[in-house]
Amino acid sequence: MKMASKDKMPKSDEEWKDKLTSDQYHVLREKGTEIPFTGKYWNAKDKGIYVCAGCGMPLFDSESKFDSDCGWPSFSSPINNQNTEEKQDKALLLPQTEILCRKCGGHLGHVFNDGPMPTGLRFCVNSASLELKKK
């Protein structure tokens, strides 16, 4: 079931700036990207559920996290396909598939076709877009 845009979190830029850190705002609202190997979760091994830093939507289980050596947290699949959405990103020379939080529309990162089986996908996510709820 796709969430209608009217069901998304209607917040102004000022409300987002009040809620988020400057790094979180840059990534989630301005579609920024962290410098590789600098985010707090790129090499985290803790067990739990990664939720959207903007709205708390559950996004990825630590069980699907793997070391891709790319410098960002990488997951083989989202916790639920209904919690994320994908959109073509043509901002760079090579088109990519952007990952967004379905609830707040926050930019999470990009998905690539070079992950481990069985999905073969690598959801490359910025740490600033996530919060880990430890098990």
Residue 124 annotated among the catalytic residues of the structure: yes
Kindly name the residue from 52, 101, 104, 124 that is annotated as catalytic.
124
Are the C-beta atoms of residues 41 and 130 closer than 8 Å to each other? yes
Are the C-beta atoms of residues 66 and 116 closer than 8 Å to each other? yes
Q: Is 131 left (phi over 0), alpha (psi -120 to 50) or beta?
A: beta
Select from 80, 81, 75 the least CA-distant residue to 63.
Answer: 75
- Any idea which residues carry the catalytic annotation? 124
